[in-house]
Amino acid sequence: MTDERFTELWTDYLEGELDEHGLAELRELLEADERRVTQAADLFQTHRLLGLIVEEEPTRQDEFVRETMAKLPKSHDEFVGRVMSNVAQTKTARQDAAQQETTYQETARTGRTLRGRRRISTGMWVAAAVLLLAALSSLMLPKRQREGETAAARIDVRLASSAHATFFGELSPPVGTVLAPQREYVLMSGMVEVAFPAGASAILEGPAVFRVTSHESLALDVGRCSVHAPDGAEGFRIDTPATRVVDRGTRFAVTVSETSETEVHVTEGAADVYERSGPVAAERAAERVGELVAEQSVQTRLVRGQAKAFAAAGRLGAQPVPFDSNVYRHSLPDRVVSYEATQAVGGGAEKLTSVTVQRGGRVMKIDAGDLIATRLTWFKSTEPRAFLCGGQQLPVPATDVVFDHSLVTGVINPDGSEQPLTISPILTGDAGTPGFAVRFDSPVFNGPGADVVFFDLQSFGNPIDGDAFHVSPLVFRDGLKSHTIRRYDLTMESPEAQVLANFYVHLFAQPADSVAELQTLRAVQQRQAMRFRGLAVGIDLSDLGYAPNERVEGLFFQDALDDKHMVDPVFIAGLPELN
């Protein structure tokens, strides 16, 4: 009896005869059994196709089909989805059209004649034609091919950028990757920016679990995201287990706890927050046929400077919380974004040609020739090891390879200290400080974000995040300090970290106590058998205590001695001053 009642209510809904009481009953029946969602879609298809089949004039049928075909988008599935998602708006449309279609409504109630059916709106005819095409293609296309093609055509949401992003059980997708619809992504740490076709973007911070649900929506099960929806992207939404947050031309942040409590902070514009009622599974299933029975009034409207917390559905309601402008993230952190390099004859990146960085929120690509070069001015080791890498034969002097544009030549395995320096390094004599010093060809300007780029070669047997190192001023004064870097911007897990060309290491039989000894001591060449990757990190001079706009002539580097692996710098350069 329940199923029969559902069929009756659903048919009345499609015919425009369902009152508020019946609508509430239909909503309950849909939420109570997910199978009825599929049944609703089947009935919807049958109902609309009947209207086309009974068209009395074949010539009008042919003309209608031709016109409809010309208007259809490339993906009929996308259009069906859009039609279904707009069903929620038919209540208002029915009210507006009631006065214009009195004759049809009266005829429908007494017998629903075929002539009355021909007064169905053009939008309904389009839906019928699209559903007919969908049924035909379902018979002609293999299921797997059909699903793959429609999914790709339906959603074109891309990963716009990432910073230190680590995903559970997989490497971070490369920037520009189309994210799979309805797939659950588990961001363990770091941040990603997701771009939507209409211009909206969402920055997600790990840990977070999210899914792309449409061209203009994202489901956030846990974690935090910051949304920017410029003009043209109004209506973008974030669905959480407890709420649906709909943009009204704004910037807002949404945070979802492990208990599904949702906080919304509006930084600019406004956002409408709707409470999602009923079991989450039933709610998600109902979304497959759009907002069929979710015609709700605005639960809460938040405007700039307002924030509220929403408990999980069915418990406590919304509670005001202090607005925090810092919750919203305008952009990903300043960092080295990527780099380009020439490819060696045997494969692998060799000479750096450009580096892309984000500085002060601005992403810019800098040619290698515009970087400020460095010169090795001090080097001291305490144990014999490989100190240089490059070709089989080194130039004379050998240190000319240290910081050229090649990503497989450099001074490697320097000594260091477990504790970073707190006083100026000694750069002369036997009492010199272990490590190495560089001077820039021209002083480096301390601007916003990174001011120096540091490249390191690394294999999978070494730390994934990069070899830790200390960077210090050449001369300390009040306010200056050392800074330790333990995680690079581009790590072994970053798609942007390129595989390097093969190279040789040069093994020294005794310690090298100076730059001169690096140039004169005898070394044995050894070709590397495994593949290395080029990691990169930006160094912000402000982290060393330098004042904004201050100019720095050089820096001192040491391995952090936190494990048996040593840092292997192959390129260090200053970034040009921002215009």
Per the model's pLDDT, the better-predicted residue between 129 and 443 turns out to be 443
Cα gap 112→510, rounded to integer Å = 99
Q: What rounded mean pLDDT belongs to the chain?
A: 80
Q: Is 505 in contact with 526 (CB distance < 8 Å)?
A: yes
Asked if pLDDT for residue 130 goes beyond 80, the answer is no
Q: What is the pLDDT of residues 308-354, one digit of tens each?
A: 999 865 555 788 999 999 999 999 999 999 999 999 998 999 999 99
Q: What is the pLDDT of residues 190-245, one digit of tens each?
A: 999 999 999 999 999 999 999 999 999 999 999 999 999 999 999 999 999 989 99
Asked if pLDDT for residue 357 goes beyond 80, the answer is yes
Q: Which of 394, 507, 372 is nearest to 444 (CA)?
A: 372
Residues 6+ apart with CB under 8 A from 513: 380, 381, 430, 432
Q: Which of 203, 234, 174 is nearest to 361 (CA)?
A: 203
Per the model's pLDDT, the better-predicted residue between 293 and 448 turns out to be 448
- According to the model, what pLDDT value does residue 486 have? 97
Asked if pLDDT for residue 292 goes beyond 70, the answer is no
Cα gap 288→281, rounded to integer Å = 11
Cα gap 222→339, rounded to integer Å = 33
Over range 401-427, report the average pLDDT. 93
Asked if pLDDT for residue 255 goes beyond 50, the answer is yes
Q: Is 227 in contact with 248 (CB distance < 8 Å)?
A: no
DSSP H helices in 72-101 = 76-85, 90-97
Q: 379: which strand partners?
A: 436
Q: Which of 228, 11, 130 is nearest to 218 (CA)?
A: 228
- According to the model, what pLDDT value does residue 84 have? 38
Asked if pLDDT for residue 110 goes beyond 80, the answer is no
Domain ranges for the chain, please list them.
Answer: 2-152, 155-327, 335-574
Cα gap 322→320, rounded to integer Å = 7
Residues composing the chain: 579
Helical (H) or strand (E) element with 133 = helix 122-140
Between vectors from CA 335 to CA 330 and to CA 340, what angle results, nearest 5°? 125
Q: Is 157 in contact with 129 (CB distance < 8 Å)?
A: no
Mapping DSSP to helix (H, G, I), strand (E, B) and coil, where does residue 440 land? Answer: strand
For every residue of 247-300, DSSP letters joined together read ESS-EEEEEE-TT--EEEEEEESEEEEEEPPS-HHHHHHHHTT-SSS-----SE
Torsion of CA 384, 385, 391, 392, to 10 degrees: 70
Asked if pLDDT for residue 96 goes beyond 80, the answer is no
Torsion of CA 244, 246, 251, 257, to 10 degrees: 0
Residue 13's CB is within 10 A of a number of other CB atoms, namely 22
- According to the model, what pLDDT value does residue 101 have? 38
- According to the model, what pLDDT value does residue 519 have? 87
Token look-up 């509220």 returns 308
- According to the model, what pLDDT value does residue 318 have? 83
Which CATH entry fits the domain spanning 155-327: 2.60.120.1440, 3.40.47.10, 2.60.120.10, 2.70.70.10? 2.60.120.1440
Looking at the chain, the whole-number percentage of residues with pLDDT higher than 70 is 72
Q: Which of 415, 405, 389 is nearest to 502 (CA)?
A: 389
Q: 268: which strand partners?
A: 251
Q: What is the pLDDT of residues 45-71, one digit of tens each?
A: 444 444 433 344 444 444 443 443 443
Q: Is 50 in contact with 56 (CB distance < 8 Å)?
A: no
Cα gap 418→424, rounded to integer Å = 16
Token look-up 């390094």 returns 425
Token look-up 């990432």 returns 162
Name the token pair of 571. Answer: 């390129």
User: Lowest-confidence range among 120-129, 289-298, 331-340?
Assistant: 120-129
